[in-house]
């Protein structure tokens, strides 16, 4: 299955694993976070894992970095990052989340298959 939000596309790659790919040059803001939560609330009633594929250029607003993220049913999150600048943006967003009291449990990968393996073999 494939789904499209204003800022990303979401692909179901297994029964309980989804991959998101941000649209090119998107700025993830508070509206994106709300849209994401509404989407997951409608789609899922059971746990799932998420692969966030950071192959396209993106950035976060401060509010977006605070609010985007882990839905209660989202049990595992892997970030696929090959670009050093994207890694720095992600690290900054995770620092912001932690400082405002929303720690985020995740792993970063540069190999898609390794990320999917971790998501499917780990406790969800």
Beta bridge partners of 48: 74
Euclidean distance between CA atoms 104 and 62, whole angstroms: 16
Looking up residue 95, the CATH number of its domain turns out to be 3.30.750.24
**91 near 98, Cβ under 8 Å?**
no
Euclidean distance between CA atoms 114 and 4, whole angstroms: 25
pLDDT of residue 124: 45
pLDDT of residue 72: 86
User: pTM for the whole thing?
Assistant: 0.82
Residue with the bigger pLDDT between 89 and 14: it is 14
Number of neighbours of residue 110 by Cβ within 10 angstroms: 12
Residue with the bigger pLDDT between 77 and 63: it is 77
Is the Cα dihedral 78, 80, 70, 120 positive or negative?
A: negative
Is the Cα dihedral 45, 51, 89, 87 positive or negative?
A: positive
Euclidean distance between CA atoms 40 and 60, whole angstroms: 20
| Domain ranges, residue 92 | 2-121
Number of domains observed in the structure of the chain: 1
| Three-state secondary structure call for residue 12 | strand
Instruction: Tell me whether strands 8-14 and 17-22 are parallel, antiparallel or unpaired.
Output: antiparallel
Q: For residues 100-124, give the mean pLDDT.
A: 76
Question: Torsion over CA of 23, 27, 33 and 39, rounded to 10 degrees?
Answer: -20
């Amino acid at each position: 299955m494939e789904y499209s939000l204003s800022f990303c596309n979401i692909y179901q790659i297994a029964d309980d694993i989804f991959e998101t790919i941000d649209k090119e040059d998107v700025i993830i803001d508070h509206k994106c976070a709300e849209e994401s939560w509404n989407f997951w609330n409608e789609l899922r009633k059971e746990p799932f894992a998420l692969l966030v594929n950071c192959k396209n250029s993106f950035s976060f607003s401060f509010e977006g970095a605070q609010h985007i993220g882990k839905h209660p049913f989202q049990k595992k999150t892997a970030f696929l990052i090959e670009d050093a600048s994207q890694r720095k943006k992600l690290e900054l967003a995770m620092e912001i989340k932690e400082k405002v009291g929303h720690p985020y449990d995740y792993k970063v990968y540069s190999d898609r298959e390794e990320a999917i393996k971790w998501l499917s073999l780990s406790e969800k």
